[in-house]
Amino acid sequence: DLSGRLTKWAIELGIYDIEYRPQAAKKGQVMVDFLVEIESFGEQHDPRQMSQLRPPSAWMLHTDGSTNASGSGIGIVLQTQTGLRIEKALRLGFQATNNEAEYEALLQGIELALHFGVEDIAVKIDSQLIAGQVRGDFEVKEPRLHRYFSKVMGAKARFGNFNIEPIPREMNQRADELAKSTSTGGTTRSIEVLLEGRSMEDPP
């Protein structure tokens, strides 16, 4: 689909430290302004080989959501065992609570991993509540959060192995930086997207 192709192009350009900034879409379309940074810790990747990159046995996903008076944003860091790292930041085009932003981040991170064909994933988030709900330790009582929860559980089933655990905020620093930057209107060296609708809602 279009978003998948845009992501692929941004990744290929990002290898050469080139920014891809598409023109503003027409009214009713998702407004996209993004940049990708991939860190391979010294190893160079031919962009022609990116689409053929096989996921290693396990990827690590860090996500975080941020809400303040200026708005809401989410940060995603998807990393392979070999050090290849994909970062994504999204500004939320709707009002969200902290827990809703955390679920948005988790859902978007999971979808990004599935886009790259990841089968085994270890998720790290600094929300003990969200991690506990997904693990089955805590009950989801709030109706809107339950819709997010159901969406996450459906996506979770698409992995061969899915593990999620809460971590201290200081161990989730990069995802936190991405989320805070977009929620305050800043810019990041990452894919930046304006998410207009809630991920747990069905398209019209």
Domains and CATH numbers, the chain: 2-43+54-195 (3.30.420.10)
- The token pair at 106 is 């988790």
Cβ-proximal residues to 121 (8 Å cutoff; 6+ apart), any chain: 58, 59, 60, 61, 110, 113, 159, 161, 162, 163
pLDDT confidence of residue 32: 30
Strand ranges in 43-200 using DSSP code E only, listed in sequence order: 59-68, 71-80, 85-92, 120-125, 161-166, 191-195
Residue 154: how many other CB atoms lie within 10 Å: 10
pLDDT confidence of residue 125: 97
pLDDT confidence of residue 201: 58
Q: How buried is residue 186: exposed, middle or buried, by Cβ count under 10 Å (0-12/13-18/19+)? A: middle
How many CA atoms does the CB half-sphere of 131 hold within 13 Å? Answer: 17
Whether residue 10 contacts residue 38, with contact meaning beta carbons closer than 8 Å, is answered with no
Q: How buried is residue 140: exposed, middle or buried, by Cβ count under 10 Å (0-12/13-18/19+)? A: buried
pLDDT confidence of residue 20: 39
pLDDT confidence of residue 24: 41
How confident is the prediction along the chain (204 residues), in pLDDT tens digits per residue? 445 544 554 554 454 333 334 444 333 323 233 334 444 333 444 444 444 445 456 899 999 999 988 889 999 999 987 888 889 888 888 889 999 999 999 999 999 999 989 999 999 999 999 999 999 999 999 999 999 999 999 999 999 999 999 999 999 999 999 999 876 655 554 445 555 556 655 544
pTM: 0.69
- The token pair at 145 is 């959060």
pLDDT confidence of residue 183: 67
Distance CA 90, CA 179 (A): 7
